[in-house]
């Protein structure tokens, strides 16, 4: 059994949340640069320039890209040959978030209860998903997601007869209703199949796929491209202010489902979609 001390987990999570909040992933930067080169509306170009400059300022000055430094989702793939020592895993993750948000001057945006709504003051608790896997690895992804985009996600339990056309209609409906709220240009994460919560998890997982990387299933890759073209033709544009750039990517993930189910979830990632992976 390989031993991993909780202090190392906390330390890695603290560094990861600071990194995620200050350094925009390279694939998103490249996609924004590409969008700037294609954009035909002057005011949208100006916004894209500000967004790219913002990423530069954030990384150079170590300040948050966006003031909404999010509620942190942490996905953990824990090898079954790993023995966590010195404490418990979820406590260590939350301690890392507490430390990172304090040290990184990141905003604390978590309230204790959906009705009482008292700020917990340290951005915990995180949303933690743990999967036990083979081997002795410890793979963690941190995903601090702001509420502007999170609030625009939707889920539908379609009838199987709705098929691919129904899924496409739902994707377009969610993007249209979201308009400028999720801070376009957005990344559209789509989860199809499984059950209710699996579809939502798949949609989030889809946001983790790098922009430009298509689905490994050619028929889905074609749908992703078709959706991207149709979404960009809607004219919502950067920040909802019009123009050619509404989405940078549409990523679709699937899973086996029940004979009577066709769940579909759409999660929207803002132009500041922050994600960092750590291996311990």
Partner 1 sequence: MKIIKAPLSTEDIEQLKMGEEVLVEGVIYVARDAAHKKMVQSIQVGEDLPFDLQGQLIYYAGPCPAPPGKVIGSAGPTTSGRMDAYAPLFIERGLKGMIGKGPRDKGVIESMQKYGAVYLAAVGGAGAYLAQRILAADIVAYPELGPESILKLTVKDFPCIVAIDSQGNDIYDRPNGSEKK
Q: Taking contact as CB under 8 A, which single stretch among the options 92-100, 209-217, 234-242, 254-262 is the one that binds partner 1?
A: 234-242
Which is closer to partner 1, CB of 2 or CB of 103? 103
Cα 150 from chain centre: 9
Distance CA 14, CA 21 (A): 11
> Does residue 157 sit in helix, strand or coil?
strand
The answer to whether residue 186 forms part of the interface with partner 1 (CB under 8 A) is no
- CB 2, CB 278: distance < 8 Å: no
Segment 258 to 277, residues that bind partner 1, using CB under 8 A:
270-272
Q: Are 237 and 244 in contact (CB under 8 A)?
A: yes
Write the burial class of residue 61 (CB in 10 Å: 0-12 exposed, 13-18 middle, 19+ buried): exposed
Helices first, then strands: H and E counts in the chain: 8, 10
**Rounded Cα–Cα distance for residues 202 and 223 (Å):** 17
Query: Pick from 25, 96, 148, 194: which binds partner 1 (CB under 8 A)?
Result: 148
Among 115, 117, 161, 260, binds partner 1 (CB under 8 A): 117
Among 79, 179, 210, 228, binds partner 1 (CB under 8 A): 179
Per CB under 8 A, does 176 bind partner 1?
A: yes
**Closest to partner 1 by CB, 160 or 235:** 235
Q: Which residues bind partner 1 (CB under 8 A)?
A: 43, 46-47, 50-51, 53-55, 57-58, 61-69, 105-109, 117, 119, 121, 146-148, 151, 176-181, 183, 233-237, 239-242, 270-272
């Amino acid at each position: 059994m390989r031993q991993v001390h909780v202090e190392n987990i906390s330390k890695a999570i603290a560094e990861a949340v600071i990194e995620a909040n200050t350094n925009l992933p390279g694939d998103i930067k490249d996609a924004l640069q590409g969008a700037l080169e294609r954009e035909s509306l002057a005011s949208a170009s100006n916004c894209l320039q500000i967004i790219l400059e913002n990423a530069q300022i954030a990384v150079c000055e170590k300040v948050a890209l966006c003031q909404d430094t999010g509620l942190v989702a942490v996905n953990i793939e824990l090898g079954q040959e790993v023995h966590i020592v010195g404490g418990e895993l979820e406590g260590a993750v939350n301690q890392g978030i507490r430390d990172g948000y304090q040290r990184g001057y990141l905003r604390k945006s978590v309230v204790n209860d959906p009705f009482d709504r008292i700020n917990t003051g340290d951005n915990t608790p995180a949303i933690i998903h743990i999967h036990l896997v083979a081997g002795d690895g410890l793979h963690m992804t941190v995903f601090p997601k702001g509420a502007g985009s999170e609030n625009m996600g939707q889920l539908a339990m379609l009838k199987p007869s709705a098929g691919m056309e129904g899924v496409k209609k739902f994707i377009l409906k969610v993007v249209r209703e979201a308009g400028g709220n999720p801070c376009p240009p957005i990344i559209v994460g789509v989860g199809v199949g499984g059950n209710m919560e699996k579809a939502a998890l798949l949609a989030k997982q889809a946001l983790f796929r790098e922009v430009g990387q298509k689905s490994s299933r050619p028929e889905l890759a074609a749908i992703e491209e078709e959706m991207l073209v149709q979404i960009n033709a809607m004219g919502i544009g950067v920040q909802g202010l019009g123009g050619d750039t509404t989405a940078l990517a549409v990523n679709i993930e699937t899973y086996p489902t029940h004979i009577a189910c066709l769940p579909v979830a759409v999660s929207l990632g803002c132009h500041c979609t922050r994600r960092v992976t750590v291996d311990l």
